[in-house]
Chains A and B, each alone.
Chain A
């Protein structure tokens, strides 16, 4: 019963957060001086044609009405224009992109697999790489291994993704000709090509992000290793591997998981720079283009979707806490 009520409150909280975000996004774009209808007006754009385009897209209504229409569309779907040329946006309709001639829901569905492929693969890689090198550095504290791991992580943390990506493409794509220089192949089309195109973006993202996790893990591990219960475990005669793996790592992972959840949630909403460098048309590329062309429906839809992912990631982190630290769920 208590769990149910907890979950209920949680869901309500998530929904209202999303509502506030959608409202703010709408409000921000309403005060911008650019007119989204002008984008679809054509050339030459006479005031009459602009008014017609604006009426068709619903931009002529007061903005609060536009916002309510948007909310309504999520449940009932929407309909623009008249006759054979009318445009349908089935529920759940998160807006319609007149630039790309597709409902935003469908666009997100088409682009999400690209970003998810990049994000999940890279996240697994950087988590393994970061945590293991962090643990190793902590255990072998002060040795050459520790120092070099930390030097590498400093380089990683301070490297811009765009630069590392381009250098990676130059070296592994052009000079060594080991991997493709960009593009995305769907998993369903060819799993081998899918993997082949993703190896480099994964490595680039992992290299940059693992650095942070290595530093975090190392610091945390050093602190934990100084705790009384570790001394007790060692005194009991447990093997070092078990002391580190079971008693140490478990406590180290709590802050790591918190950061990881947020990072992954953010990345799933669009790996903007990585997608750009590797010419992959994921959610990040979609958002950047929408901002550049004042494609309001896509911007609002994408913002909501990204926020949703972060919120879900947070929720998942809370659940994992319970597993890692039984005190939390009590």
Chain B
């Protein structure tokens, strides 16, 4: 335990020293955050959907400023993300072996209009997320709540009986099966209170009832969204939102190149701005030769996993020896270079990503960053194959193709011939998540929707996630692993669950259904007036809730 803490601290120090990430001078201010000013956020997005039922927003970005949930995320640099109470007094008490979860609301909570937030509003918010008219959001709860599979929302289907509100402060959820990560599930946008009387599904995307520190002042379709302070928000009830700026303006539809240039120039109002999108490669290079901009570039800790999926149900790839040969033959170093080098990511060997609690570091196929061609050839010989012909399905943009070529050239060294099949992004998604599975290899990357090892493993490796829109794109089916996953899902003791996930991580990789390539890093720029701006490993996006402006 002590060793792990020390390792985390060391990593944090190295990161700070190496790339000026999460810059040191911000640290001094991190406790008392200054109040006031107008913060500008530059985004390429052209619309922001504030309807919690339809949103896939992370807890620490846009929606988190306006809407509170039962629980939320405490994200800080160098530390694994934690689930903490938001509207509720704790992260949930389970009974019935993890099938029933009970929450109590804090005292003194009210909406922007002064009316009190009740548990009935949270129940209603969850219910409306079931309406097909309001689909599009994160819907993990829909498959977990008892009776959720048949329920069609409050507009046509009445109430959902598996959510109970014995009084205005208490809410009880009944699940189909025990689920240990339920505290993470209730941090999702659908667990935002929506007062039934104020619910107009047609306009809620632009006019949500605010429970967080900000409310929407103006919404100009396609160009800007302005947030102002919500006077009824009480900082004493909120442990994660610092609510620094008086006003926050989202400038929509900004060209990422121009936005990066504006932030590099750091003039006028742009001093109090940051970019919501990744800094494009060309500007990353430009920043390196500009000392002022370099100080304002923040690179995340290594986060989302980029991996090569091997279709375990296809021809020679059915043979585990062949898949293990691929593990050794891949040139991860070349892939890293194609992803932008060291600022693009760190070499990966595990499935659970850094920044996730319970991760254990290991390397089952120790071959060094450039692979071990001799070992790969030896394994292929053991499998009785002298040559191999595989197809690699890749998105057709130049970045993706460059990465695909890095894989192709790596495998070529071991006598594995790879033919790249480029396709449109939506076509690739439909093919890999579809039922037919007509591909041998594909490169993908995965950032879970909630920071639990569960999110790294279950969606990608449970056999129920093959086809039908699921993301088990290596089409990996192993009863032993399925059992481990079910066991871990049901475990309500976090430490025990984490140990099970770590066990599943290693167990899966012995079958080599995927090759972990890199833990990707994202880089963001901010103006000189912005402080408390940091990007953790998970999620590798700025924490909007803690940003403030120098006064």
**Which A residues have a C-beta under 8 Å from some C-beta of B?**
32-35, 38-50, 52-53, 55-56, 80-88, 98-102, 107, 110-111, 166, 169-170, 174, 177, 181-184, 276-281, 285-286, 289, 294
Report the bound CA distance from A194 to B353 in whole Å.
48
Q: Contact between A111 and B459 (Cβ–Cβ < 8 Å)?
A: no
Q: Contact between B469 and A46 (Cβ–Cβ < 8 Å)?
A: yes
- Of all chain B residues, which has the CB nearest A51? B132
Chain B min CB distance to A215 (Å): 31
A43-B131 contact in complex given A34-B427, A281-B46, A285-B253, C-beta closer than 8 Å: no
Q: Contact between A34 and B133 (Cβ–Cβ < 8 Å)?
A: no
Q: Contact between A34 and B424 (Cβ–Cβ < 8 Å)?
A: yes
Q: Residue B135 contacts which of A53, A101, A182, A184 (CB distance < 8 angstroms)?
A: A53
A277-B470 contact in complex given A85-B201, A87-B133, C-beta closer than 8 Å: no
Report the bound CA distance from A182 to B254 in whole Å.
8
Give the residue among A56, A81, A177, A280 with the most B Cβ atoms within 10 A: A81
Q: Contact between B132 and A53 (Cβ–Cβ < 8 Å)?
A: yes
B140 interfacial by beta-carbon distance below 8 Å: yes
- Of all chain A residues, which has the CB nearest B47? A100
- Which residues in chain B, 428-472, are within 8 Å of chain A measured between CB atoms? 429-431, 449, 459, 468-470
B267 interfacial by beta-carbon distance below 8 Å: yes
Report the bound CA distance from A102 to B202 in whole Å.
9
Chain B min CB distance to A183 (Å): 7
Which secondary structure dominates where chain A touches chain B?
Answer: mixed
Contacts of A101 in B (CB 8 A): 49, 202, 205
- Going nearest first, the 10 A-B pairs with the smallest beta carbon separation are A83-B155, A281-B222, A34-B426, A85-B133, A45-B469, A52-B132, A85-B201, A81-B133, A56-B132, A85-B155
A48-B253 contact in complex given A42-B136, A110-B221, A110-B222, C-beta closer than 8 Å: no
Contacts of A46 in B (CB 8 A): 142-143, 468-469
Chain B min CB distance to A109 (Å): 10
- Of all chain A residues, which has the CB nearest B468? A47
Report the bound CA distance from A285 to B131 in whole Å.
30
Report the bound CA distance from A102 to B205 in whole Å.
11
Chain B min CB distance to A324 (Å): 39
Q: Contact between A42 and B138 (Cβ–Cβ < 8 Å)?
A: yes
Q: Contact between B426 and A285 (Cβ–Cβ < 8 Å)?
A: no
B6 interfacial by beta-carbon distance below 8 Å: no
- Count the B residues whose beta carbon is within 8 Å of the partner chain — how many? 53
Contacts of A85 in B (CB 8 A): 128, 131, 133-134, 153, 155, 201
B386 interfacial by beta-carbon distance below 8 Å: no
Q: Contact between B132 and A44 (Cβ–Cβ < 8 Å)?
A: no
Q: Contact between A279 and B253 (Cβ–Cβ < 8 Å)?
A: yes
Report the bound CA distance from A110 to B252 in whole Å.
15
Contacts of A35 in B (CB 8 A): 430
B258 interfacial by beta-carbon distance below 8 Å: yes
The contact sample of 6 A-B pairs, CB cut-off 8 A, is A42-B138, A43-B138, A53-B132, A85-B133, A87-B202, A280-B253
Q: Give 14 A-B pairs besides A42-B138, A44-B143, A101-B202 with Cβ atoms closer than 8 angstroms.
A: A42-B136, A44-B470, A46-B143, A50-B469, A52-B152, A83-B155, A85-B128, A86-B155, A87-B133, A170-B261, A181-B258, A182-B255, A183-B223, A280-B253
Contacts of B46 in A (CB 8 A): 281, 285-286, 289
Task: Give 1 or 0 for each of B50-84: 1 = CB within 8 Å of chain A CB.
Answer: 00001010000000000000000000000000000
Q: Contact between A279 and B258 (Cβ–Cβ < 8 Å)?
A: yes
A184-B223 contact in complex given A41-B469, A48-B149, A80-B133, C-beta closer than 8 Å: yes
- Which residues in chain B, 165-205, are within 8 Å of chain A measured between CB atoms? 199, 201-202, 205
B262 interfacial by beta-carbon distance below 8 Å: yes
Q: Contact between A177 and B135 (Cβ–Cβ < 8 Å)?
A: no
Contacts of A177 in B (CB 8 A): 267
Q: Contact between B255 and A277 (Cβ–Cβ < 8 Å)?
A: yes
B139 interfacial by beta-carbon distance below 8 Å: yes
A281-B258 contact in complex given A49-B142, A85-B134, C-beta closer than 8 Å: no
Report the bound CA distance from A102 to B49 in whole Å.
12
Q: Contact between A42 and B258 (Cβ–Cβ < 8 Å)?
A: no
Q: Contact between B139 and A33 (Cβ–Cβ < 8 Å)?
A: no
Chain A min CB distance to B436 (Å): 11
Contacts of A100 in B (CB 8 A): 47, 221
Contacts of B468 in A (CB 8 A): 46-47
Q: Contact between A84 and B155 (Cβ–Cβ < 8 Å)?
A: yes
Task: Give 1 or 0 for each of B128-163: 1 = CB within 8 Å of chain A CB.
Answer: 100111111111101100000100110110000000
Report the bound CA distance from A225 to B505 in whole Å.
82
Report the bound CA distance from A40 to B136 in whole Å.
4
Chain B min CB distance to A246 (Å): 46
A42-B205 contact in complex given A33-B427, A50-B469, A55-B132, C-beta closer than 8 Å: no
Contacts of B255 in A (CB 8 A): 182, 276-279
Chain A min CB distance to B47 (Å): 6
Report the bound CA distance from A215 to B134 in whole Å.
55
B251 interfacial by beta-carbon distance below 8 Å: yes
Report the bound CA distance from A107 to B133 in whole Å.
20
Contacts of B128 in A (CB 8 A): 85
Q: Contact between B133 and A49 (Cβ–Cβ < 8 Å)?
A: no
Q: Contact between B201 and A84 (Cβ–Cβ < 8 Å)?
A: yes
B265 interfacial by beta-carbon distance below 8 Å: yes
Report the bound CA distance from A111 to B205 in whole Å.
19
B478 interfacial by beta-carbon distance below 8 Å: no
Report the bound CA distance from A279 to B135 in whole Å.
29
Chain A min CB distance to B258 (Å): 6
B30 interfacial by beta-carbon distance below 8 Å: no
Chain A min CB distance to B351 (Å): 18
Contacts of B430 in A (CB 8 A): 33-35, 38
Q: Residue A42 contacts which of B135, B153, B251, B459 (CB distance < 8 angstroms)?
A: B135
Q: Contact between A174 and B261 (Cβ–Cβ < 8 Å)?
A: yes
Report the bound CA distance from A42 to B259 in whole Å.
29
Report the bound CA distance from A88 to B201 in whole Å.
12
Contacts of B142 in A (CB 8 A): 46, 49
Q: Contact between A43 and B258 (Cβ–Cβ < 8 Å)?
A: no
Give the residue among A43, A98, A166 with the most B Cβ atoms within 10 A: A43
- Which residues in chain B, 256-286, are within 8 Å of chain A measured between CB atoms? 257-259, 261-262, 265, 267
Q: Residue B253 contacts which of A34, A38, A107, A281 (CB distance < 8 angstroms)?
A: A281
Contacts of B140 in A (CB 8 A): 44
- Of all chain A residues, which has the CB nearest B426? A34
Chain B min CB distance to A320 (Å): 34
Report the bound CA distance from A185 to B402 in whole Å.
40
Q: Residue B459 contacts which of A44, A52, A53, A55 (CB distance < 8 angstroms)?
A: A44
Contacts of B143 in A (CB 8 A): 44, 46
Task: Give 1 or 0 for each of B112-138: 1 = CB within 8 Å of chain A CB.
Answer: 000000000000000010011111111
Q: Contact between A42 and B56 (Cβ–Cβ < 8 Å)?
A: yes
Chain A min CB distance to B152 (Å): 8
Report the bound CA distance from A34 to B423 in whole Å.
11
- Of all chain A residues, which has the CB nearest B56? A43
- Of all chain A residues, which has the CB nearest B205? A101
Report the bound CA distance from A276 to B255 in whole Å.
6
- Of all chain B residues, which has the CB nearest A80? B133
Q: Contact between B139 and A43 (Cβ–Cβ < 8 Å)?
A: yes
Report the bound CA distance from A177 to B268 in whole Å.
11
Contacts of A80 in B (CB 8 A): 133
Q: Contact between B253 and A83 (Cβ–Cβ < 8 Å)?
A: no
- Of all chain A residues, which has the CB nearest B261? A174
Report the bound CA distance from A299 to B344 in whole Å.
35
Q: Contact between A294 and B153 (Cβ–Cβ < 8 Å)?
A: no
- Of all chain A residues, which has the CB nearest B465? A44
- Of all chain A residues, which has the CB nearest B267? A177
Give the residue among B152, B253, B459 with the most A Cβ atoms within 10 A: B253
Contacts of B429 in A (CB 8 A): 34, 38
Q: Contact between B139 and A42 (Cβ–Cβ < 8 Å)?
A: yes
Report the bound CA distance from A100 to B222 in whole Å.
10
- Of all chain B residues, which has the CB nearest A100? B47
